[in-house]
Amino acid sequence: MSDPSLAMAFSAAAGELGMSAASWLFLRTLAAVEAGAEEAAIESLGAQFPVMAAVGAAWREGHRGPRCDLEGVRARLDGVTRAVVLGVESAHLDALVAASPGLELGLVTESPLEADFERILANFGGRVAAVSLAELQRWSGATSALVTFLYGVDSHATQVSPIWLRAVGDDTRTQFRTLLGWNVLPAPMPVYPRWLVEVALDAFTDVVP
Amino acid sequence: MSLAFAGILLAALIAQALWPGARLRVVVSGAALSCLLASLRGVSTTARLFAAVPWDVLTILVGLGVVTEVLVASRLFSLMAVRVTRATGARPWRFALTFALVMYVVSGLVNNLTALLLVLPVMLVVFRVLGVTQRFLSLTLGLLLVACNLGGAATPIGDFPAILLLGRGAMRFGVYLTAAAPRTALALALVVVALSWRRQASPRDGTEALRAALTVNTLEALHRGIRIDRRYLLPGAAALAAMLLGWVLIPASTGIGPELICWLGAALSLLGAGKVGETIARRRVDVEAVLFLLSLFVMVGAARESHLFTDIARWLTALPLSPAAQVVVFLVAAALLTGVFSAGPSMAALLDVADALARQHPREARDALYVGLAMSVCAGSSLFLTAATAGPLTQSLIERAGLRGPDGEPLRFGFREYLPVGLVAFALILSVGIASTLAAL
């Protein structure tokens, strides 16, 4: 499989499933069809998509699924009645929706990759509303939270989707009770975090490492 | 005088074909000019021209569009596309053939443009993950568009030309269906056979099984939580089934025509869909198509009042040719005109000529002539990418998708890429249409 066509295939999946979920899906699928095929994909895609490189490293260490500390998230969202999620990670979103029946959820319909948000949202059976960046402040309040996915955490910084920077400025920060970062990678990324941006951990009120 | 109305009609048809972005302004202006000229010259009045508009045809178009929208709300079409991909194992040629077959059937029952709009996003994911070549992309999409055209011509409710025949009472539902369905199925089979030699899908580098597995698993992950919404599927499917039964079983002698059956079915589906039904009625009715066809009918009506079409038919029947050869000339001309002007305008203008020609033949031969005309229009719709509305729409979706080939080269689907498929389809569909019409004369 040529690099350009594999990269296009990965982008198609990552845009709507999330970088981490798409990486796990690709590795599991390739390994199931042909032993060793996933190694070629880690090499080929890992150079272009650092999340794949990080997931590939975890795969080599024996991990077979994403890191998902749902209890940690629920504890930090205790008392929150509405939350807006920035960025897509399907496995984590599915878990959050299933575990939080009373929580009003919105998803910011912006992505650095091509994504059909109508299809993304249809997967949640009406439980998650579409939120444009212009509508973000309508979701603010004393019991509101902003949630985003973190791609590896070290002692002081993390990587997030660039959508986070577009949405969260000094004005937005004070209008939400909780700014929650939810780590989806088992280890920090080994290569330069292309597609993502680095932010300081103190940009969040809560982090689920 | 008939030349003036012919001039307005022809100028409007040419202008809307040359500037599709201005087609509504062009035909609305043309219709207004026709009304003005007819009134000033005493040929007709605006009220008379409007009374001659086949409102039953427009009612059927709107009604079928409404039922399609209710089915769309159920997510039936996108999930169907996912299941078709899974069933084919994302094996490229099997995938292309099955999609063509499914769209042929779907296009016979609902608005193919809407169905195509919902199926294409799923196909785009398949193209991206599967990693297709330019040739395979052109062939698959070309075949899909031809299958949609043939499906639309297979039943009396599939597309505008057949709806016009049904709505104007030129043919009964069952008669059209039994004549057109086998002919279109045969034409589709011939097109598939003719195109199959070009079928190379993607570079054979030993990764076909990996690509197929990635495609199926990605597609399933993207639709993991999406379910068919029975709240809309049931009223939509029930209304469509009731309409089909009504069209087949209720005799015209009851006074209940196909347009009333369609209206009742559309109302039933809207009532059954609850609040979404109200939203569909207010916002999803295809006003653009209605306005376009209404304007065409007004222009055609003005030309008819000036005896233009009877003059053309008289000229055609005066040709020093046998009646069979005259029919062939008419069918070929209809196909070529459709290729240039698209199905709606040519069918609206040519049906009057077909009526005049049909009067020279016995009843059974008339039916064959009408079905032959529908096949010719279908052949013309398949000739160029621009001949049917679905073509430019597919082109723009592919352009926006930014697809790339195995080596990263950009993939296109435009006029040139479609043309080889279009020429093959045009020749085969027209041949089937002419042969079957001549056999019945």
Other CB atoms within 10 Å distance of the CB of residue B320: 6
Backbone phi, then psi, for A149, in 5-degree steps? Answer: -95, 140
Other CB atoms within 10 Å distance of the CB of residue B54: 21
Instruction: Say yes or no for a CB contact (<8 Å) between B402 and A114.
Output: yes
- Cα dihedral A3, A5, A7, A12, rounded to 10, equals -170
b/e burial code for range A88-123 (CB count within 10 A of at least 16 → b): bbbbbbbbbbeebeebbbbbbbbbbbebbbebbbbb
Ranges of chain A with pLDDT below 70: 1-2
Question: Tokens representing B107?
Answer: 């296009």
Strands A141-150 and A82-86: parallel
Does pLDDT of B202 surpass 60?
no
Distances (CA, A) of A68 to A20, A92, B112: 11, 6, 43
DSSP for B125-180, please give it: HHHHHHT--HHHHHHHHHHHHHHHHHHHHHSTTSSHHHHHHHHTTSS-HHHHHHHH
Residues A90, A186, single domain; the answer is yes
Other CB atoms within 10 Å distance of the CB of residue B263: 18
Helix/strand/coil for A168: coil
Residues A48, A83, single domain; the answer is no
Residues in chain A: 209
Task: Provide the pLDDT for residue B6.
Answer: 85
A156 CA to chain B: closest CA distance, Å?
34
Task: Provide the pLDDT for residue B204.
Answer: 58
Distances (CA, A) of B417 to A43, B392, B421: 35, 12, 8
3-state secondary structure B365-409: HHHHHHHHHHHHHHHHHCCCCCCCCHHHHHHHHHHHHCCECCCCC
Residues A84, A118, single domain; the answer is yes
pLDDT per residue over B410-434, tens digit each? 999 988 999 999 999 999 999 999 9
Task: Provide the pLDDT for residue B402.
Answer: 86
b/e burial code for range B212-242 (CB count within 10 A of at least 16 → b): bbbbbbbbebbbebbeebeebbebbbbbbee
DSSP for B69-92, please give it: HHHHHTTHHHHHHHHHHHHHTT-H
pLDDT per residue over B30-62, tens digit each? 999 999 999 999 989 999 999 988 888 889 889
Residues A49, A111, single domain; the answer is no
- Cα dihedral B74, B77, B79, B84, rounded to 10, equals 150
Which residue do the tokens 């997030």 mark?
A: A160
Residues A55, A88, single domain; the answer is no
Does pLDDT of B213 surpass 80?
yes
Helix (H) or strand (E) holding B53: none
Which residue do the tokens 């055209």 mark?
A: B149
Residues A39, A122, single domain; the answer is no
Does residue A65 sit within a domain? no
Residues A95, A181, single domain; the answer is yes
Which residue do the tokens 């570079």 mark?
A: B203
Which residue do the tokens 């930090």 mark?
A: A76
Does residue A52 sit within a domain? yes
Q: Could you tell me the CATH number of the domain that includes residue A81?
A: 3.40.50.10470
Strands A141-150 and A128-131: unpaired
For residues B243 and B163, the answer to whether their CB atoms sit within 8 Å is: no
Where does residue A202 rank: exposed (0-12), middle (13-18), buried (19+ CB within 10 A)?
exposed
Q: What percent of chain B has pLDDT over 90?
A: 53
Does residue A97 sit within a domain? yes
Residues A130, A84, single domain; the answer is yes
Does residue A185 sit within a domain? yes
Instruction: Say yes or no for a CB contact (<8 Å) between A8 and B131.
Output: yes
Between the two ends of chain B, the Cα-to-Cα distance in Å is 34
Residues in chain B: 441
Where does residue B296 rank: exposed (0-12), middle (13-18), buried (19+ CB within 10 A)?
buried
- Choose one of A19, A36, A60: the last residue of a domain: A60
B80 CA to chain A: closest CA distance, Å?
14
B205 pLDDT band (50/70/90 cuts)?
low
Backbone phi, then psi, for B41, in 5-degree steps? Answer: -90, -5
Distances (CA, A) of B396 to A112, B120, B330: 21, 11, 33
Does residue A114 sit within a domain? yes
Q: Of B47-51, B143-147, B166-170, B182-186, where does mean pLDDT reach its minimum?
A: B166-170
DSSP 8-class letter at A178: E
Residues A28, A106, single domain; the answer is no
Q: Is the dihedral of CA B93, B95, B100, B104 positive or negative?
A: positive
CA A13 to chain centre: 13
Task: Provide the pLDDT for residue B1.
Answer: 60
B140 vs B146: CA distance, rounded Å: 10
pLDDT per residue over B292-321, tens digit each? 889 988 998 888 887 777 778 778 878 898
Q: Is the dihedral of CA A107, A109, A112, A116 positive or negative?
A: positive
Instruction: Say yes or no for a CB contact (<8 Å) between A125 and B225.
Output: yes
Chain B residue whose CA is closest to A35: B210
ipTM for the whole complex: 0.94
Task: Provide the pLDDT for residue B3.
Answer: 81
Does pLDDT of B199 surpass 70?
no
Task: Provide the pLDDT for residue A2.
Answer: 57
Residue of B75, B117, B210 for testing the chain A interface, max A β-carbons within 10 Å: B210
Residues A143, A96, single domain; the answer is yes
Residues A51, A80, single domain; the answer is no
- Choose one of A14, A37, A60: the last residue of a domain: A60
Nearest by CB to residue B205, choosing from A1, A4, A32, is A1
Q: Under an 8 Å CB criterion, which residues of B touch A?
A: 75, 78, 121, 125, 128-131, 203, 205, 207, 209-211, 213-215, 217-218, 221-227, 401-408
Which residue do the tokens 């000529």 mark?
A: B353
B388 pLDDT band (50/70/90 cuts)?
confident
Does pLDDT of B23 surpass 70?
yes
Instruction: Say yes or no for a CB contact (<8 Å) between A9 and B130.
Output: yes
Q: Find, among A135, A141, A159, the residue nearest to A149 by Cα.
A: A159
Q: What percent of chain B has pLDDT over 70?
A: 98
Task: Provide the pLDDT for residue B111.
Answer: 78
Instruction: Say yes or no for a CB contact (<8 Å) between B75 and A12.
Output: no
B112 pLDDT band (50/70/90 cuts)?
confident
Q: How many domains is chain A built from? A: 2
Structural domain harbouring A45: 3-60
Instruction: Say yes or no for a CB contact (<8 Å) between B209 and A119.
Output: no
Residues of A in contact with B398 (CB under 8 A): none
Does residue A146 sit within a domain? yes
A51 vs A46: CA distance, rounded Å: 7
Residues A23, A114, single domain; the answer is no
